[in-house]
Structure 1
Amino acid sequence: MQKTISTQQYENFTASRSERLDKTYDRFQKLIIQLEIHCEVISQEDENLKLLRSLPSTWNNMALIMRNKSNINTMSD
């Protein structure tokens, strides 16, 4: 049951316009850890792209630049 809830939270993850980027990232990392606890493996590339897609529109230019980086699949914290 918890795995299903965590998976849904991951799929629906979005950043709030009023939330600082570090808070968004911390919340995202906690969700990733929960998924790992339940043996759900998400590639680094998918994690990176999901986080970038979750950012508010004010981050569109930066997110576009990051998505087009050739090493998006290996970028980590």
Structure 2
Amino acid sequence: MQKTISTQQYENFTTSRSERLDKTYDRFQISQLEIHCEVISQEDENLKLLRSLPSAWNNIALYHRNKYDLDKMECVMIGLTL
């Protein structure tokens, strides 16, 4: 049951315009399914985080999706804060 709830929380992860990026990332890390022995690929993790950003971040998210090799980037958060 806990695994199902965690999966739903991960799938439904979103951010708000008023939330700071570091807080978003902290919440995102908590929502990871790895705590339930499921491994999420680095690319999927990065894409999920980019998709969860508010619409004001669309241009930045698009830039990161096109510029970086998201399966090799340790965390898209690093690129967003540069």
Q: TM-score normalised to the size of structure 2? A: 0.85
Matched with 1:67 is 65
Query: How much does 1:31 deviate?
Result: 1.2
- Match for 2:38: what amino acid? E
Match of 2:67, SS? coil
Task: Confirm whether residue 10 of structure 1 aligns to residue 6 of structure 2.
Answer: no
What CA distance in whole angstroms lies between the structure 1 residues aligned with 2:57 and 2:68?
19
Give the gaps of 5 or more residues in structure 1: none
Which structure has more RCO (C-alpha within 8 Å, separation ≥ 6)? Answer: 1
The alignment-based identity, stated in percent, is 80
CA distances 1:49-77 after superposition (whole Å, capped 9, x unpaired): 00000000010010000111241111124
Equivalent positions of 1:1-77 (< 5 A) are: 1-32=1-32, 35-77=33-75
Give me the TM-score of the superposition, normalised by structure 1: 0.91
Unmatched 5+ stretches in structure 2: 76-82
Amino acid of the structure 1 residue aligned with 2:57: W
Task: Measure the CA separation in 2 of the matches of 1:62 and 1:70.
Answer: 12
Structure-2 separation of matches of 1:70 and 1:26: 22
**Number of residue pairs aligned between Structure 1 and Structure 2:** 75
Q: Note the aligned Cα RMSD (angstroms).
A: 1.0
